Structure 1
Amino acid sequence: MLDLDPLQRDALSEILNIGVGKSAQAMSQLVGEEVLLSVPEISFMTVGQAGAKLSRDDKRLYSVRQSFRGVFGGDALLVFPEDGSRALVRSMAGDAVPEDQLDGVMGDAMTEVGNIILNACMAALAELFAQPFETQSPLLHVGTARAIIGARAQNHAVMFIHIRFVLHESNTEGFVIFIMNTTSLEDFKAAIRRFVGDALPPAAMH
């Protein structure tokens, strides 16, 4: 689906890892303790395959969606299983919010988490491509994988990023998903190739 060579994949992985690292710092301030994020695992698939990967147990998911446009366009989503979302919000709320009131703050808290992580990823991509992205306000969705991904064409491209979040009392996993149509996918590939070509010294390109 995305014919990147090893050098291009390494460049993409490294810049996203930098973005995730910056979001970990912001998350640590928000939670009040150190948040460790794993090195992002990047894979490419279709919308249909991404939906199947997310719906392993058919459980409810929390998703923050942010539309964007620039050198390529689409939708960026941060997705957490419901139990992982509760653990994360519990850590954020601390003793200030009783357990029976946690549901009331889940939406705002997860939107804030999504805003931090998605903006960090978008900033990293903007640095990679040396062009800014225009983003819309993040929107929260709760439901099954099919519901949160939406009714997009099942063969649209997805950049699927798997990240593990480790806090003192919880270890959960989240997913960052970039959904792109065919035109955006080609623009994305071209931008990565230009970046790698510009970064290489002339002798390395022969």
Structure 2
Amino acid sequence: MAAEISLTDLERDALTELVNIGVSRAASSLRKMIGEEVLLSVPAIEIMPPQDAARLIGERETDGLVAIQQQFEGAFSGRALLIFPEATSLDLVRAIIGSDVPPEQIAELEQEALAETGNVILNGCLATMANMLKRSLTVSLPEVFRGDSARMFAISQDRPTDGLVLFLYINFSVRNRDIRGYIAMLMDLPSLTALKELIAGFIERVVGGDVETMASDSNSSTTWQV
């Protein structure tokens, strides 16, 4: 039986806003690293089984994929992925290392540039979520790997049935380049349940102020679909 979890509308809005604040801070960090304006937005968030996430990306992206992966552990645990189509990843690398780098050196620098980008974006999201939920997470060093969508969402053999994916579409704008990508957080049901409880606690802390004010802090429009 597939794992299931439900969130109230308010919990969905709060999680949406946590993610938006995280990518906003990640964009600021990338801007300092690149020296150019970086815009990051999360126009859609979904939760689904891993096989559905693999199928969704497979339908959207017919070419090879590049992913930066980091494990996270703490109040909630799982595996975070920043995924790009290969062509998009090359555009991102060129934006990071500059157009004056000889083509023969790009391949040498690509792995490092991708790992650093993944570290900035994934850490930005995870650290912001943890801080705002008043918890801490331990995040592993980034790993870069390539493959098809099925490999990206391979299910752990010791937990083959209860995995879910918190799946985020992201839009990049770097030096006037349109760079699309995806963030996925693979978590088991206990971790997602723990995250749901932390979000409920977060809402209790801010509801005395104004949750709508929290939502106005983000410039991107985000929806959650289950």
**CA distance in 2 between partners of 1:81 and 1:28 (Å):** 22
Query: 1:154 offset after TM fit, Å?
Result: 6.1
For 1:166-177, what aligned pairs fall within 5 Å after superposition?
A: 166-177=173-184
**CA distance in 1 between partners of 2:99 and 2:193 (Å):** 48
2:192 alignment partner in structure 1: 185
Decide whether the 8 Å contact of 1:28 with 1:34 is kept in 2. Answer: yes
**CA distance in 1 between partners of 2:139 and 2:162 (Å):** 24
TM normalised by structure 2 equals 0.83
**More divergent stretch after superposition (133-142 vs 149-158):** 149-158
Of 79, 83, 99, 1:79 maps to 83
Of 140, 145, 149, 1:141 maps to 145
Q: What SS class does the counterpart of residue 16 from structure 2 fall into?
A: helix
Query: 1:148 offset after TM fit, Å?
Result: 2.5
1:154 and 1:53, CA in 2 relative to 1: closer, same or farther beyond 3 A?
farther
For 1:99-178, what aligned pairs fall within 5 Å after superposition?
A: 99-152=103-156, 153=160, 156-178=163-185
Query: 1:35 offset after TM fit, Å?
Result: 0.9
Q: Specify every segment of 5 or more residues in structure 1 that has no aligned partner in the other structure, as ranges.
A: none
**CA distance in 2 between partners of 1:53 and 1:145 (Å):** 9
TM normalised by structure 1 equals 0.91
Query: 1:67 offset after TM fit, Å?
Result: 0.6
Q: How many residues align?
A: 203
Q: Does 1:12 align with 2:15?
A: yes
2:67 alignment partner in structure 1: 63
Indicate the structure with greater helix content. 1
**CA distance in 1 between partners of 2:165 and 2:31 (Å):** 28
Query: 1:40 offset after TM fit, Å?
Result: 4.5
**CA distance in 1 between partners of 2:116 and 2:161 (Å):** 29
2:219 alignment partner in structure 1: none
Query: 1:155 offset after TM fit, Å?
Result: 5.2
Q: What SS class does the counterpart of residue 15 from structure 1 fall into?
A: helix
Report the residue type matching 1:100 in the other structure. Answer: E
Report 1 or 2 for greater relative contact order, CA contacts < 8 Å, sequence distance ≥ 6: 2
Decide whether the 8 Å contact of 1:47 with 1:154 is kept in 2. Answer: no
2:40 alignment partner in structure 1: 37
Q: What SS class does the counterpart of residue 62 from structure 2 fall into?
A: coil
**CA distance in 2 between partners of 1:178 and 1:61 (Å):** 17
Q: Please provide the CA RMSD for this pair.
A: 1.9
Decide whether the 8 Å contact of 2:42 with 2:168 is kept in 1. Answer: no
